[in-house]
Amino acid sequence: MKTQVKALPLPRFYDAAHAGQFGYNPDAGKLQVEAQGWRAANDVSMSATDTFNLHLLLIDVQKDFCFPEGSLYVAGRSGRGAVDDSRRIAEFIYRNLGALTNVTATLDTHFAYQIFFPSFWVDQDDQPLTPYREVTREQIERGQARPNPAMAKWLCGGNYPWLLKQVKYYCEELERAGKYTLYLWPPHCLLGSDGHALAGVVQEARLFHSFARGVQSWAEVKGGNPLTENYSVLRPEVLGRHDGQPLAQRNTQFLKTLLTADAVVIAGQAASHCVKSSIDDLLGEIVAQDAALARKVYLLTDCMSAVTVPDGKGGFAADFTPQAEASLQRFADAGMHLVKSTDPLASWPDLRIA
């Protein structure tokens, strides 16, 4: 059977207003029933029969990022950033459900103490550091920032000197790579919290896709190692320890999944951080194998926003929009395609669905 490329109608249960409701939680049982009738009414085939593997990667579309009630809302410059992105993502899935072979959602997954949380650090007066600031090796050497001694027993067997060496090394590695300086975020996506869950309107769409097309609701968990950031779904920011031992590893299996798909579509949060890092790592692997593979990657530019931090005076204490825009241009220059969720698949360049 041929992959279905025609635009499909939105299901009757879909309500765009749910994109702005933190507490919205779809009923999976009802979705399964709805999917059966909708599949028959729209002549949608099972995913296993697709002749073209179109893989949608949704990065960190979680409540802490997607709502003003979340602890790290990705508002963009408009203030509505991730809310509108989630709505467009859901509608993209419904309209193109017959063409989307697989949908994978990543889940940023953290615990109370992580190297990028204020709880991990104390200052020279043993007071916790504040979020939305950088930590550098120089600050550690001066004693302005140091690991919280309370962590030493469970994190490294009580060997605090080892921990101090490790965090210095970590900051060195980040600075050497030139991608990021260690940045402290407020606690977010804590495992077990409401903020860890996917935005309800997106969860609803991905489950409906699974039930309608008979394919698993794939997910990739990232970010649980307390000693490294993990913006990208494909690898942590730092892989090694100061003593030469491994700290973490690349997600080689999922990388293979993406590279063997016929086309990959990427959306999610935030364009300036986890989306950017994931695409960076994917592009690095593509360049190492065959630069032409970049042409099979499509970035939904209207389904991602940049991190902004309001200053309380109508402006921004931090605005990562320029970094996000520069990255998108760099990805386009490498051969990836910048598209919108409302563009018909038939109009996408290089997308040769049989």
Average pLDDT across the chain, whole number: 96
Q: What is the pLDDT of residue 1?
A: 46
Place of tokens 């028959």: 40
Q: Which CATH class is domain 16-107+203-213+245-305+322-347?
A: alpha beta
Give the alpha-carbon dihedral of 306, 311, 314, 319, to 10 degrees: -20
Higher pLDDT, 1 or 245: 245
Identify the DSSP state of 3: P
Enter the tokens of residue 276. 């950017």
Q: Any bridge partners for residue 325, and if so which?
A: none
Instruction: Summarize pLDDT for 102-134 with one digit per residue, the tens.
Output: 999 999 999 999 999 999 999 999 999 999 999
Which CB contacts under 8 angstroms, 24+ apart, belong to 7-11?
A: 7/95, 7/96, 7/344, 8/42, 8/44, 8/94, 8/95, 8/96, 8/97, 8/98, 9/42, 9/94, 10/91, 10/94, 10/95, 11/38, 11/94, 11/208
Query: Does residue 228 carry a pLDDT above 60?
Result: yes
Four-residue CA torsion sign, 192, 196, 200, 205: negative
Candidates 339, 354, 114; CA nearest to 236 is: 114
Instruction: Summarize pLDDT for 148-185 with one digit per residue, the tens.
Output: 999 999 999 999 999 999 999 999 999 998 878 999 99
Domain ranges in the chain with CATH number 3.40.50 = 16-107+203-213+245-305+322-347
Enter the tokens of residue 272. 């300036």
